[in-house]
Structure 1
Amino acid sequence: MRAVTFTDFGGPDVLAVDERPIPEVPAGHVRVKVHAAAVHPLDTVARAGWLGPMVPAGPTYVLGVDAAGTVDEVGSGVTDFAVGNAVLAMSNWPQTKIGCQAEYVVLPADFLAPAPAGVDFEAASTLPLNGHTAAQALKILGRKEGDQIVVTGAAGAIGAFAVQLALHQGLRVIAIAAPEDEPFITGIGATFVARGGNSADAVRAVAPEGVDGVLDTAGIGAGVIGAVRDGGSFVAVTPPAMPPAERGIRVGLVQAVADGAELTELSGLVDSGRLTLRVARTFPFEQAADAHALLAKGGLRGGVVLVPRG
């Protein structure tokens, strides 16, 4: 099978498309024929060698956390999926190094979920990691129905899911995003605040008493924790963006893990129209370097996706 790989650390030019053995299917696992696989910052930092001992030099790695495709084979004991089912999946890549940017991937059955019925595989592949990150961050944030939260980077890949999930959970959302994103933000029912300047002051202008929590997908960190009321909560999506705790505010970090039951719920929310999937651009495996370069530019409104064939 063909797969997107790298052996040496470096820029996008170190990526290659190699032939790899088709993986066997142990008990409790499913082999997925991959139709689309999203590209994430995790892929670019792994390729660049920035994950330290988590990704040591030497081996050849297959990249990719997310996959959308069809079930090719099921292992013994698997009853929830059958050959031909359209599915989504997420790999816990930092721990396992099982990459989804390949023609086939084998994962535990409880990492999989039925794919949304009304979208193509390219769009569906943008859901798992970002959807899990948003959902699990909201759980860590620990707010109840009626609470008011801020989501930074609210039009981005994780932030947009977080806003929509929070609204679905009955939270009131102040969304910080670029001015050009205001129609999208207000259209999904959040209160828009333009990014730039002092984020905490901008939020306090809308919510003078402070908000109950902040989900910081944009990495503003200390620049927005001032928007949280005393005793509230704050969740970052990357370790460098975690501000020191202050005023009794609980500060946490989300590191998403695969969860088939949660992914099934997220897929259902796509089907019901409560979650919007967006694709910025699709590339064939052979143009993986171009996909990494585009992602590195930032400012995208939608996922970057690889497909096995052009």
Structure 2
Amino acid sequence: MTYSEYGDNDVLRLQELPTPKVGPGQILVRVTRAAINPVDWKVMSGGLDAMIDAQFPAVPGWDMAGTVESLGPDVPEFAVGDRVAAYARKMVVSGGTFAEYVTVPAEFATKIPEGVDDETAAALPLAGLTAKRVVEALQVGEDDTVLIHAASGGVGHLATQLAVNLGAQVVGTCSPDNFEKVRGLGAAPVEYGDGLVDRVREIAPDGVDAVADLVGGVLEQTLELLGDGSRHVSIADPEAAEKGGRWLWVRPDGAGLAELLEQVAAGTLAVEVDRVLPLGEVAEGFRLSSEGEANGKIVVDVTR
């Protein structure tokens, strides 16, 4: 799936391209599943052009699972036939994961453990590594009270589980429709919007120790709920860095992804997949993602 200019879903085209070359330190992967993230259609719209160059025709997609097809020089950690997953973001928007083949730096990839299917593995990398980085940056520990904005979302449902697994009391914002989902993750749900601060203080009268902003537009509420020595990070609001917090971008990290996949294999981390679409319906997946109609990750079956 490609696009040759920035735009909306109308610029997407299914197109034949040469198989990517595989260079030193890289693996060539035959992709079975890829996953849609909001950043995919934001990049396609030109929203990140000031930060990341593009080479057209560009193939979108940063998440993937598949099988190693061939190896570049000096890649002793993988073998042809290995099942692998990766957050395959590159420095140039070009050869993405909505394709039969993609090249990936070896350090971005990891082997998929037994018992984890390709759909789950493909849905995890960007969202899971983001959640992991957020929880680590917040230094979440036992007895912490953590507020997670958008706890039922793609990143939020993973960050919530990671924080709960570390022994934290988690308060998660969401719509009332997702209260049961958030409770099932081990968190106390609260409705977002006006009155949020009061609703959180009903659970945590003294405020919270850490806040993860996964949605944006909540900095004022976050600051009201933070006590002395509290920490806050945002993946959506760069102004957080000006108010004593951190603005985070996830990095490709094969070792970190391996840790997350082991948790999935052990049953301590669950990845929610909303639906699986064929490669030709990436535009529909982008629509569902941009309009908020998916409850979980949208996965693309590249083999059909």
TM-score tier by shorter-chain length is over 0.9
2:57 is matched with which residue?
60
User: 1:303 Cα deviation (Å)?
Assistant: 0.8
1:76-225 alignment runs, 5 A limit: 76-93=73-90, 95=92, 97-219=94-216, 220-225=218-223
Alpha-carbon separation, structure 2, partners of 1:148 and 1:99: 38
Most deviating of 179-188 and 227-236: 179-188
Contact 1:141 1:233 in 2 (8 A): yes
> Aligned in 2, Cα 1:296/1:30: closer, same or farther, shift over 3 Å?
same
Contact 1:43 1:64 in 2 (8 A): yes
Alpha-carbon separation, structure 1, partners of 2:250 and 2:57: 24
Contact 1:214 1:235 in 2 (8 A): yes
**SS of structure 1 residue aligned to 2:303:** coil
Structure 2 unaligned segments of length 5 or more: list them. Answer: none
Contact 1:213 1:232 in 2 (8 A): yes
Alpha-carbon separation, structure 2, partners of 1:241 and 1:33: 40
Alpha-carbon separation, structure 1, partners of 2:74 and 2:242: 47
| Percent identical | 35
Q: 1:280 aligns with which of 245, 260, 274?
A: 274
Alpha-carbon separation, structure 1, partners of 2:189 and 2:55: 47
Q: 1:24 aligns with which of 12, 17, 21?
A: 21
AA in 2 matched with 1:242: A
Contact 1:152 1:177 in 2 (8 A): yes
Give the paired residue count.
303
2:229 is matched with which residue?
231
> Aligned in 2, Cα 1:119/1:233: closer, same or farther, shift over 3 Å?
same
User: 1:34 Cα deviation (Å)?
Assistant: 0.3
**SS of structure 2 residue aligned to 1:231:** strand
Alpha-carbon separation, structure 2, partners of 1:265 and 1:146: 23
1:35-54 alignment runs, 5 A limit: 35-54=32-51
User: 1:218 Cα deviation (Å)?
Assistant: 2.2
Contact 1:91 1:98 in 2 (8 A): no
1:282-301 alignment runs, 5 A limit: 282-301=276-295
Q: 1:270 aligns with which of 261, 264, 272?
A: 264
> Aligned in 2, Cα 1:15/1:271: closer, same or farther, shift over 3 Å?
same
**SS of structure 1 residue aligned to 2:295:** coil
Q: TM-score, normalised by structure 2?
A: 0.93
Alpha-carbon separation, structure 1, partners of 2:293 and 2:136: 27
User: 1:267 Cα deviation (Å)?
Assistant: 0.3
Q: TM-score, normalised by structure 1?
A: 0.91
Cα deviation, 1:241-297, whole Å, max 9, x if unaligned, reads 73851xxxx311110011111000000010111111121122222111111111111
User: 1:42 Cα deviation (Å)?
Assistant: 0.9
AA in 2 matched with 1:221: L
Q: 2:255 aligns with which of 261, 267, 270?
A: 261
AA in 2 matched with 1:237: I
RMSD: 1.9
AA in 1 matched with 2:247: L
Alpha-carbon separation, structure 2, partners of 1:78 and 1:166: 34
Cα deviation, 1:199-237, whole Å, max 9, x if unaligned, reads 222211210111011001122232333121123111111
Alpha-carbon separation, structure 1, partners of 2:196 and 2:79: 49
User: 1:57 Cα deviation (Å)?
Assistant: 7.0
